[in-house]
Amino acid sequence: MQGNSYDGLEGFDMALADGELVSFRPVRPEHRKIVAEGMSALSFESRLFRFFTPMVCLSAQQLDYFTEVDQSDHVAWIALSSDNAGQTGLGIARFIRLPHQPRVAEFAIVVIDSYQNRGLGLILLALLYKMAVSKAIDTLRASVSLENKVMRRWLARLGAVGQYDDDGSYTMDWAVAGKPPDLTLPSLQRLKAIIVKIDEAMGQNVVPDPL
């Protein structure tokens, strides 16, 4: 694992469980083309679960919004793989602080289908957890499709609590500050181990670790 300075934030490389090395970088405008191309690597179901509509491509306005982030109220990181054809986007994770609830942020993670179930999503989630703590976020909130049973189980195993909102949507709140989480949960133990690896990859403990 190798840490690299990246515009004031630390980018880093980390191996997946199968040994493949993946680069993690804060999202910047120059990732626009990679983000756009990543849509083609998502199945109908993955697009539906992430965007709640089976959109085929992102609009110019959406690409602006997803790549021109301040890394404070809107934090986003991208997972990249380098091959002979250049960098390929493997996944992206972000959270956006709610203006009316500044200690709550909505978050989302998407991983291209060929890299799902390989541990990449958990690394991205651990990274969001660390960034949220550093930005004084107490709660990470996800809007989850009722059909997305995998995500609902995954977040529940990390201690997230779900509820139906007034508009009929389903959200899950995950406390990242305040009362310590139940570390007897195996998924949280795995998350803790990944956070330690991220610290090592960055070369320093750059974010307070509440776990």
Give the domains, in start order, of the chain with CATH numbers.
Answer: 3-200 (3.40.630.30)
Q: What is the pLDDT of residue 145?
A: 82
- Choose among 33, 34, 189: nearest CA to 23: 34
168 pLDDT band (50/70/90 cuts)?
A: low
Mean pLDDT for the stretch of residues 28-49: 88
Question: Could you read off the pLDDT of 109-152 as tens digits, one per residue?
Answer: 999 989 999 999 999 999 999 999 999 999 999 988 878 888 88
Can you tell me the distance from the alpha carbon of 79 to that of 201, in angstroms, rounded to the nearest whole number? 14
How far, in Å, CA of 187 to CA of 184, rounded? 9
Average pLDDT along the chain: 85
**Cα(172)–Cα(94) distance, integer angstroms:** 16
pLDDT value at position 204? 54
| Mean pLDDT within 86-105 | 94
**Average of per-residue pLDDT across 64-87:** 88
**pTM summary value:** 0.85
Burial 162-181 (b: 16+ CB within 10 A, else e): eeeeeeeeeebbbbbbeeeb
